[in-house]
């Protein structure tokens, strides 16, 4: 296709796209006007019904807990697929590989950062039902704390802090726990993933019934998933270095 | 729309253009992470702290990390 034809094609499609976009924008509701009646209703009733002051958490782990289970399983399936494709037969050898030692400053700052990240991660998971945050966000923060161990330390240390047996187990318990809490609801005569635990006092950490339990299960599953994902990628790098050293 | 929201929207626009304009993959990854951070500010300014936290951990931590490791592997360690 010649450059001229491409320009003509681009001109036609760009004009069409612009026209469609402008037409769509003209039909939007005014800025700041929210037309979702479902959201307004939940805002009014969620705190009284579920004792979770963060309405988003009440939606994610209660009213729409089944959707969240689907998302959890998507993350689980994709991380498992990555592990299947990338897990190396030479895992044990790679675990012994030595990284170049970083400067004192990087190690000191990194070490300080690990503690801060783990505390912020735990805080974000624990307070998910009270303030913005929750298992997903806190889980990734927790995992990034471990990733800083690699960045400031070495792959060897990363693997020692998060060995496969422990992380695999955590991932299984997180995802299985989520489904298990749903089934436990059925055992108590409620619907799947219905809130069957005592709701407690509004605004405290031990409130909102199964929302809190599902939140913690999600946090565990997400943290383990990201630690596993990064481990598989880094392992590729380590095995490549091994092969290069053998040459 | 308050002025802060307008400023954030313009910054996000500039960030998006910088991502498209970046040619080197490492620069592209960094520009993308910075663009992600601008989106986080946007969500915060538009009063969605939950979404802001999710966007923060995904676009500033998880995605750049996976990209950087992939680039490192592509370049032979």
pTM, two decimal places: 0.82
Contacts of B73 in chain A (CB under 8 A): 233, 236-237, 240
- pLDDT at residue B61, rounded to an integer: 82
Angle at A227 between CA B15 and CA B39, to 5 degrees: 15
- pLDDT at residue A220, rounded to an integer: 92
- pLDDT at residue B21, rounded to an integer: 92
Best mutation target among A53, A88, A131, A226 (most B Cβ atoms within 10 Å) is A226
Residue B77 has pLDDT above 70, yes or no: no
B56 touches chain A (CB under 8 A): yes
d(CA A181, CA A183): 5
CA of B62 vs chain A CAs: smallest distance (Å)? 8
- pLDDT at residue A21, rounded to an integer: 96
Model confidence at B76, pLDDT cuts 50, 70, 90, reads low
Residue A159 has a CB neighbour count (10 Å cut-off) of 23
d(CA A221, CA A97): 28
* Cross-chain Cβ contact B66/A229 below 8 Å: yes
SS3 assignment for B23-40: CCHHHHHHHHHHHHHHHH
Per-residue pLDDT tens listing for chain A (247 residues): 788 999 999 999 999 999 999 999 999 888 878 878 888 888 888 877 778 888 888 888 888 889 999 999 999 999 889 888 887 777 777 777 777 777 888 888 888 999 999 999 999 998 888 888 888 889 999 998 888 888 888 888 888 887 888 888 999 999 999 999 888 888 887 788 777 777 777 777 777 888 888 999 999 999 999 888 888 888 888 888 778 777 7
Domain-wise residue ranges, chain A: 34-246
DSSP-based three-state secondary structure for A148: helix
CA of B65 vs chain A CAs: smallest distance (Å)? 8
CA of B73 vs chain A CAs: smallest distance (Å)? 6
Contacts of A244 in chain B (CB under 8 A): 76-77
CA gyration radius, chain B: 14
In this predicted model, what pLDDT tens digit does every residue of B36-63 receive, in sequence order? 999 999 999 998 888 998 898 888 888 8
Count interface pairs A-B at CB distance under 8 A.
53
* Cross-chain Cβ contact A237/B62 below 8 Å: no
d(CA A176, CA A170): 10
Question: Exposed, middle or buried by CB within 10 Å (0-12, 13-18, 19+), for B32?
Answer: buried
Chain B residue with Cα closest to A127: B50
* Cross-chain Cβ contact A237/B57 below 8 Å: no
CA of A189 vs chain B CAs: smallest distance (Å)? 32
């Amino acid at each position: 296709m010649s450059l001229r034809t491409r320009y003509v094609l681009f001109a036609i499609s760009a004009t069409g796209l612009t026209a469609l976009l402008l037409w769509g924008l003209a039909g939007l509701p005014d800025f700041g006007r929210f037309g979702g009646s479902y959201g307004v209703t939940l805002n009014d009733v969620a705190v009284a019904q579920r004792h979770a002051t963060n309405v988003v958490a009440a939606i994610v782990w209660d009213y729409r807990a089944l959707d969240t289970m689907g998302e959890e399983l998507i993350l689980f399936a994709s991380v498992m697929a990555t592990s299947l494709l990338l897990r190396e037969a030479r895992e044990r050898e790679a675990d012994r590989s030595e990284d170049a030692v970083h400067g004192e400053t990087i190690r000191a700052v990194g070490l300080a950062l690990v503690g801060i990240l783990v505390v912020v991660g735990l805080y974000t998971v624990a307070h998910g039902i009270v303030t913005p945050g929750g298992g997903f966000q806190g889980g990734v923060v927790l995992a990034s704390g471990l990733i800083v161990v690699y960045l400031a330390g070495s792959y060897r240390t990363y693997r020692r802090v998060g060995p496969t047996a422990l992380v695999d187990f955590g991932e299984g318990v997180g995802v299985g726990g989520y489904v298990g809490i749903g089934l436990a609801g059925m055992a108590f005569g409620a619907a799947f993933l219905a809130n069957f635990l005592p709701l407690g006092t509004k605004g405290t950490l031990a409130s909102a019934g199964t929302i809190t339990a599902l939140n913690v299960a999600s946090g565990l599953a997400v943290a383990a998933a990201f630690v596993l994902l990064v481990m598989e990628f880094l392992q590729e790098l380590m095995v490549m270095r091994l092969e290069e050293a053998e040459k | 729309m308050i002025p802060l929201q307008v400023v954030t929207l313009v910054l996000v626009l500039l960030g998006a253009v910088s991502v498209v304009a970046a040619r080197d993959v490492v620069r592209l990854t960094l520009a993308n992470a910075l663009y992600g951070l601008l989106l986080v500010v946007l969500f915060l300014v538009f009063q969605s702290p939950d979404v802001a936290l999710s966007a923060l951990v995904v676009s500033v931590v998880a995605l750049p990390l996976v990209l950087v490791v992939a680039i490192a592997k592509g370049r032979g360690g």
